[in-house]
Chains A and B, each alone.
Chain A
Amino acid sequence: MTRTAIQLPLPGFEQAQGEWRAQYARQIGDEKATRNRSGIEIQPLYSPRDWNGERYLEDLGFPGQFPFTRGIYPTMHRGRTWTQRQLIGLGTPEDYNRRVRRIIDAGATAISLLPCCSGFRGIDCDEVDPVLLGTCGTVINTTDHMDSALDGVPIGEISTAMNDPSPFTLLAFTLGVARRRGIDWRSVTGTSNQSDYISHFIANHQFYRLSLPGSRRVLLDHIEFCRRHVPNWNPVSVVGQHMQQAGATPAETMGFTLSTAIQYAEDCIARGMDIDDVLRRFTFFFDISISLFEEVAKFRAGRRIWARIARDRLGAKDPACWRFKFHGQTSGVDLTQQQPLNNIARVSIQAIAGILSGLQSLHTDAYDEAIACPSEETARVAVATQNILRDEARLCDVIDPLGGSYYVERLTDQMEAEIEGVIAKIDAAGGMYKAAEAGLVQTMIGESALAFQEQVDTGARKIVGVNCYQIEEDPTVPPAERPDAEAMLRHVERFKAFKGERSQREVARALDALARAANSTDENVFEKVVEATEAGVTHGEVVSCLRRELGFGHPLIVA
């Protein structure tokens, strides 16, 4: 949708503006067009001719009111500040437990769990070169591992984000732990934080874990199961973060992400689910780049478009379904290895962009992110950054403080038009599933990544310490933390022993039930995943069984 500026009756406006333009041109001379990352031309000045509030109620309204441009709740950060949800995962389950307990003792009300890359890849710890284990996530392959990781953690009271793509074994393990501890599944809250298989296929190479149709099936079963048995769990988190990290512009990212959400919602409807029932549990997860105003406009436009999609296109009647709830993570792509302490400034700006956008939950990157996995010290600075912005800079005092700025409102309208253009392109390709299958999205992302790099290489886009302001520097970053090699080997040995000691009959029976569910049309695959993990089946065994039955993924497009 494009809006043309309304001519306000402002006597003398044209003359004053004309004078300013002439003065500006005299001093600046020939000026090259400035564009933001999404390609929108940025003017040197904005005025009531660019935005004058004529459509205030239709386009903005008040916080908590349709279309939620200014925020999804009436009180926003005044009533409740964002959740500080730091992504953590390192070493053995015991290592994770020590770190997560410290975070809870420090007052965290939500935790997050990142599995080891081997888990992401769909295999168990005994199939991998041990030197790679636990360096970027926690090694969790069984319910016992999860029990150790969550020892003393009050699941049922604290919200847990499991960063776990299909087939969601981490939630299955968590439900097993809840059952052991006598905790009602209805009180288990949190998010299947990377359940968006399309984004994994496009930008994170999930294809090695399960085929595209197989992932689609498991996600739908996962949603259905959670609605029935774990109603306070958010089974869908639509992830724009991967795509922006892979090179999509902010506008493309929002367009792709909303198209993905439309795809999942329509898939749920096709399955016969009640849209009002499922849509309220949709959440979004985004990258926040350093392009501050552009990010603010991206999120404000995203909220507005989603409200309209949810209500008008998908037909949800409950206002809870129209709310665009999102978690933001500051973008590691903007961080530099050069002069790493500068990254504290970068992360602060990214976090400010997210907070001023009205996010629900925030992860701030550590300043050594471009050098290594964060150490405890750098992670502490990242959390303190959030506290400083909230308590010292008091960014929560006013809701949507940039609302009404000629520039921000005009840019929000322009970003909205760009995003809708992307959604239209995906619609024309038959929706996000087909667009991903055809490689259309991957090609667009690849082109944007190259175009951005081109700007960095030519110096058109300046990055301090990388292509300008370089200095002779000493490394100022503490050495990378690695898991204790012996503890990790003991963990793998215990895992091998566990596999030998469990009831092989139960395991075989559970895997058979899982395989049969995968091949049936009326059984729920995720229900069988939960049952299998309770019978001692491991993460890698679940994935390889499903891979066998539902197909192995392939790269959809290369280069």
Chain B
Amino acid sequence: MMKVDALPIRVLVTKIGLDGHDRGSRIVAAYLRDAGMEVIYTPPWQTIPGVVKLATEEDVDVIGISSLATDHLIVPKMMDALRTTGLGHVRVIVGGIVPDEEKAALLAAGVSRIFGPGAGREEIVDCVAALGQQSRAARSDEFSEATP
């Protein structure tokens, strides 16, 4: 049987809220795909319950939320929804335009990393790969706690 760790990292790249600009999310999706990850990509305008459902069904390790026009303001609500659905191990990154003074609230809500415009390909790919491993480690911890 194949070890779980050997399977490619699964990433959901999506946009929640009201903003339709998706050039950034498409490019990041292509980066991750080209780096050998399995990317589930959605068009913009997803809802929080929709993202949680998709993350569950697709069994993703990392969720990337792209936001150009202030949609990052509802990311803390998405983090709550992930936790209450048992997806606390899933790592979340936010990419796009997040004003400096609004970054702290996202990080405090559990977002692992925020990438601004101009972030490089390697930086993003390395970060997602590392977070994917963390996510799997956190999930197996949860699993071993749940099954004595």
List residues of A whose CB falls within 8 A of some B CB. 116-118, 120-121, 128-129, 131-132, 135-136, 204-206, 208, 245-247, 333, 336-338, 370-373, 446, 449-450, 453, 457, 463, 465-467, 475, 477, 479-480, 555, 558-559
B41 near A449 with CB under 8 A, answer: no
Partner of B70, one of A135, A204, A247, A338: A135
Q: Which residues from A are CB-within-8-Å of B102?
A: 480
CA distance A457 to B26 in the complex (A): 15
Binding-face segment, B53-61, B71-79, B85-93, B133-141: B71-79
CA distance A475 to B20 in the complex (A): 27
- Cβ of B127 < 8 Å from any Cβ of A? no
Q: Which residues from A are CB-within-8-Å of B30?
A: 450, 559
Partner of A449, one of B20, B26, B70, B121: B26
B101 near A480 with CB under 8 A, answer: yes
Show 5 A/B contacts (Cβ-Cβ < 8 Å), sorted by A: A129-B17, A337-B97, A370-B117, A449-B26, A558-B43
Q: Which residues from A are CB-within-8-Å of B100?
A: 371, 475, 477, 479
With contacts A336-B117, A480-B99, A555-B43 taken as known, whether A121 is within 8 angstroms of B18 at the C-beta atoms is yes
B117 near A132 with CB under 8 A, answer: no
A372 near B99 with CB under 8 A, answer: yes
With contacts A132-B71, A449-B27, A466-B118 taken as known, whether A205 is within 8 angstroms of B18 at the C-beta atoms is no
B69 near A135 with CB under 8 A, answer: yes
Partner of A128, one of B18, B77, B121: B18
Partner of B19, one of A136, A337, A446, A559: A136
A204 near B69 with CB under 8 A, answer: no
Going nearest first, the 6 A-B pairs with the smallest beta carbon separation are: A117-B18, A205-B20, A135-B70, A480-B99, A466-B118, A136-B69
Question: Looking across the interface, which residue of chain B has its beta carbon closest to that of A137?
Answer: B69
A247 near B45 with CB under 8 A, answer: no
B70 near A129 with CB under 8 A, answer: no
Q: Which residues from B are CB-within-8-Å of A373?
A: 69-70
B residues 70-126 touching A (CB-CB < 8 Å): 70-71, 73-74, 77, 97, 99-102, 116-118, 120-121
CA distance A204 to B43 in the complex (A): 10
Interface size class of B (residues with CB under 8 A): 20 to 34
CA distance A204 to B30 in the complex (A): 19
CA distance A71 to B45 in the complex (A): 41
Question: Looking across the interface, which residue of chain A has its beta carbon closest to that of B120?
Answer: A457
Q: Closest approach, in angstroms, between the C-beta of B108 and any C-beta of chain A?
A: 16
A205 near B77 with CB under 8 A, answer: no
A338 near B18 with CB under 8 A, answer: no
B27 near A453 with CB under 8 A, answer: yes
B71 near A457 with CB under 8 A, answer: no
- Cβ of B23 < 8 Å from any Cβ of A? yes
Q: Which residues from A are CB-within-8-Å of B69?
A: 117, 135-136, 373
B43 near A463 with CB under 8 A, answer: no
Question: Looking across the interface, which residue of chain A has its beta carbon closest to that of B102?
Answer: A480
- Cβ of B132 < 8 Å from any Cβ of A? no
Q: Closest approach, in angstroms, between the C-beta of B77 and any C-beta of chain A?
A: 7
Q: Which residues from A are CB-within-8-Å of B27?
A: 449-450, 453
Q: Which residues from A are CB-within-8-Å of B45?
A: 121, 205, 208
Partner of B74, one of A129, A337, A450, A467: A129
A132 near B18 with CB under 8 A, answer: yes
A559 near B73 with CB under 8 A, answer: no
CA distance A555 to B15 in the complex (A): 14
With contacts A246-B23, A338-B118, A373-B70 taken as known, whether A479 is within 8 angstroms of B43 at the C-beta atoms is no
With contacts A336-B118, A449-B27 taken as known, whether A205 is within 8 angstroms of B71 at the C-beta atoms is no
Q: Closest approach, in angstroms, between the C-beta of B41 and any C-beta of chain A?
A: 5
Q: Closest approach, in angstroms, between the C-beta of A99 and any C-beta of chain B?
A: 18
- Cβ of B44 < 8 Å from any Cβ of A? yes
Q: Which residues from A are CB-within-8-Å of B70?
A: 132, 135-136, 373
Q: Closest approach, in angstroms, between the C-beta of B7 and any C-beta of chain A?
A: 21
CA distance A558 to B73 in the complex (A): 25
Q: Which residues from B are CB-within-8-Å of A246?
A: 22-23
Question: Which among A246, A446, A453, A467 has the highest number of chain B CB atoms within 10 Å?
Answer: A453
With contacts A338-B118, A463-B118, A480-B101 taken as known, whether A204 is within 8 angstroms of B73 at the C-beta atoms is no
Q: Which residues from A are CB-within-8-Å of B121?
A: 453, 457
B residues 36-57 touching A (CB-CB < 8 Å): 41-45
